[in-house]
Amino acid sequence: MENLAGFTTETFSFQGATRTVYRAGSGPAVVVMHEIPGIIPSVYRFAKRVADSGFSVYLPNLFGTPMKPLSMGYALCEVAKACISKEFRVFASHESSPIVDWLRALAAKAYKEQGGRGVGAIGMCITGNFALTMMLDEFLLAPVLSQPSLPFPISKDKGPELHISDDTLKAVRERVKRGAKILGMRFYGDTFCPEERFNRLKKEFGDGFEAIELDPKFANPNGKKPPHSVLTTELIDKEGEPTRKAVDRVIEFFKEQLLQ
C-alpha cells in the first residue's frame, strides 16, 4: 500500500473483491472516486481538500498506482486495462459498470461508520457517472459528476447516454422529483464528456441538475489539451479562477446536502 500523507489505509471487501481504501478527515462521509489513470497527485490534493473541509473521505484505489505522476503513456495503459476489465463496461449505454456495486457497498459502510444525514459521492472521468447509480441508495444525498465520460463517446449515439439502466434512471428521476440534487461539471469542447451528455442530464433532471460548464480558456495551460479534468489536472488553484470556483462549489454542495 502506498502511503498518502494525512490518510490512513484500510481494505474493504465485497463480493470477493478487496481493495485499498484511503481514509482522512471526520464528519459526514464522502466517497471520492478517482479518474484515469489513478490517484495521481492532483486527485490526492482534491481529496485532502474535501477532508480538510469537514468530511470523512473514503478514497478507494480502483486502478493505477497511487501518487504516480500523470503521463500520456500511463493514462493510455490504464484506459486499455479498463476497456478489457470485467468491472468496467466502458461502452455500455444502458447499464452501469459492475464495480458500482462495490462502491455502493463502500458507501453503505461509510454511512454506517459516520452517520449523519447521508453520504456524498464524486466521480471523475471514467467514474463520473457512477454517483447516479449510487443514488439508488436513499442515504446518497450529494452526488457529483465531474466530466462523466462513460460510455466512451466513440459514436454519435453514445454522446447523450448516461451509463445507467432505464430502471435506475427512472428511480433517480423520482428522487429528484422529491428534492434530490445533482451537481455536474465539464469544459466546453470536451470530446470525452460531450455537450449532448449534459443536455441529456438537464432534460432528465431539470432544476435538480446543476451544471457548471467552463470555457477551456480558464483551464490550467499546463494541463491536457483539450482540457478535461475540471477539479484536478486542469485546476488553477487561485482565488477567483473559474476552476477554483468549481472546487469551492463542490465543497459547498457537500455542506448544503450533508451538514445543513
Is 93 a member of any domain? yes
Angstrom distance (rounded) from CA 45 to CA 196: 30
Please tell me the predicted confidence (pLDDT) of residue 191: 94
- The predicted-structure confidence for 160-184, as pLDDT tens digits, reads as follows 999 999 999 999 999 999 999 999 9
Query: What is the span of the domain harbouring residue 92?
Result: 8-258
Please tell me the predicted confidence (pLDDT) of residue 260: 76
Is 152 a member of any domain? yes
Segment 237-248 mean pLDDT: 98
Segment 132-142 mean pLDDT: 98
Segment 32-58 mean pLDDT: 97
Is 37 a member of any domain? yes
Please tell me the predicted confidence (pLDDT) of residue 2: 62
Chain Cα centroid distance, residue 191: 18
Is 90 a member of any domain? yes
- Type of residue at 2: E
- The predicted-structure confidence for 209-232, as pLDDT tens digits, reads as follows 999 999 999 999 998 889 999 999
More confident residue, 3 or 69: 69
The domain total for the chain is 1
- The predicted-structure confidence for 97-114, as pLDDT tens digits, reads as follows 999 999 999 999 999 999
- Type of residue at 116: G
Is 43 a member of any domain? yes
State the pLDDT confidence band at 45, using cuts at 50, 70 and 90: very high
Q: Which CATH number goes with the domain that contains 150?
A: 3.40.50.1820
Is 67 a member of any domain? yes
Please tell me the predicted confidence (pLDDT) of residue 96: 95
Closest CA to 239 of 251, 228, 247, 231: 247
Is 3 a member of any domain? no
| Three-state DSSP string of the chain | CCCCCCCEEEEEEECCEEEEEEEECCCCEEEEECCCCCCCHHHHHHHHHHHHCCCEEEEECCCCCCCCCCCHHHHHHHHHHHHHCCCCCCCCCCCCCCHHHHHHHHHHHHHHHHCCCCEEEEEEHHHCCHHHHHCCCCCEEEEEEECCCCCCCCCHHHCCCCCCCHHHHHHHHHHHHCCCCEEEEEECCCCCCCHHHHHHHHHHHHHHEEEEEECHHHCCCCCCCCCCCCCCCCCCCCCCCHHHHHHHHHHHHHHHHHCC
Angstrom distance (rounded) from CA 43 to CA 77: 18
Report percent pLDDT > 70 for the chain.
99
Q: Is the pLDDT of residue 3 over 80?
A: no
Segment 234-245 mean pLDDT: 98
| Contact by Cβ (8 Å): 231, 247 | yes
Q: Is the pLDDT of residue 241 over 80?
A: yes
